[in-house]
Amino acid sequence: MTKCCDYLFLSPHLDDAVLSCALRLKLEKDAGKKIVVATLFSNGLPLPVNLDLYGGRRSEDRTALQILGVQDHLYLGFSDAPFRNLFYHSFDRIILREHSNDSVFFKKLTESVLELYKEWSPETIFLPLAVGTHIDHRLTHRLWSIFPPEVKIVFYEDRPYSFLPGSLALRLKDIGASGFEPYLSRQQSQIELKSFVSGLKHTTMYKNLIFSRKDGLRYIFYAARAARARPEEPKLTIGAEMVGTIDGDTSSVVEQAVAAYKTQIPALFKDMETFKKESQSYCQSLDSEALYCERYWRLKR
């Protein structure tokens, strides 16, 4: 039986949709839109229930979505990269590389998501832009190409990866995007190595996840090579749209939803005060005076 929804949000992990799209989820739900959030990589190792840490994470995710008013949420049950393949045991491999087995795995992922699409028949599908290039985010991003041309595709900027200066420009160059130039200042659209390196030292998530000097240097070399590389032929054309709020009550609900991820906050932001600080800095980088804002990139077919 085919169900119907206005928006289908594809979330790589058990927090990505809320971390990146909390405000939009709330505003669209308040406007009466039918929303479904589907998390693809929602499992870790197959463990007994009392040892399953991902059971706790799924509970946090349900709480966060309920705070935003989203009742329809699904878990596809694929394993996070480090549990799916031992190859992904380091920051360097998760962020910058891809195992050959993922070409076969992507077919399984495609089949599952197409079944989801047939079940819900969404008008618009939201996917990660894969800023930060986590392998699970990259695989989720690629799914945009499997949907019929009449489906509207919108990419969201992955948080907190997008808080790193230059990370968006890196990703836009990597995917061969065009059409974004009118929406970004020249500084925003360039990979400025000094700001990138400084950001690695000051953006909380990167400080916490880059465990070795070697991984940090490899990431810097990756950015340096990308900055010098010639742009590829355009592969997809996108245009930006901003969502923001100056309402304190609305931004407070967003913060409550993010705070529901108690197990993840220390690694991603240290604490909620840091989350608010980094979110505000991000808004300022977009020249927005909103208390809280998000940017999306609509695919132009």
Per-10-residue mean pLDDT for the chain, 301 residues long?
Answer: 89 98 98 98 69 83 98 95 93 96 96 97 98 98 97 98 96 94 87 93 94 92 91 88 96 98 96 97 92 97 86
Is residue 243 within 8 Å of residue 23, measured between CB atoms? Answer: yes
- pLDDT score recorded for residue 190: 85
Eight-state DSSP code of residue 163 = G
Is residue 262 within 8 Å of residue 199, measured between CB atoms? Answer: no
Query: Closest by alpha carbon to 16, among 122, 113, 123, 137?
Result: 137
Eight-state DSSP code of residue 291 = S
231 φψ region: left (φ > 0), alpha (ψ -120 to 50), beta (else): beta
Question: What total number of domains does the chain contain?
Answer: 1
In this prediction the pTM is 0.96
- pLDDT score recorded for residue 211: 85
Residue 200 lies in a domain: yes
CATH number at residue 52: 3.40.50.10320
- pLDDT score recorded for residue 47: 53
Residue 2 lies in a domain: no
Nearby residues of 248 by Cβ (< 8 Å), 6 or more positions away: 291
Beta strand spans in the chain (E): 7-11, 35-43, 72-79, 124-128, 152-156, 177-178, 236-245, 292-300
Residue 268 lies in a domain: yes
Q: In which domain, by residue range, is 262 found?
A: 7-300
Please report how many Cα atoms fall inside a 13 Å half-sphere around the Cα of residue 249, on the Cβ side.
Answer: 1
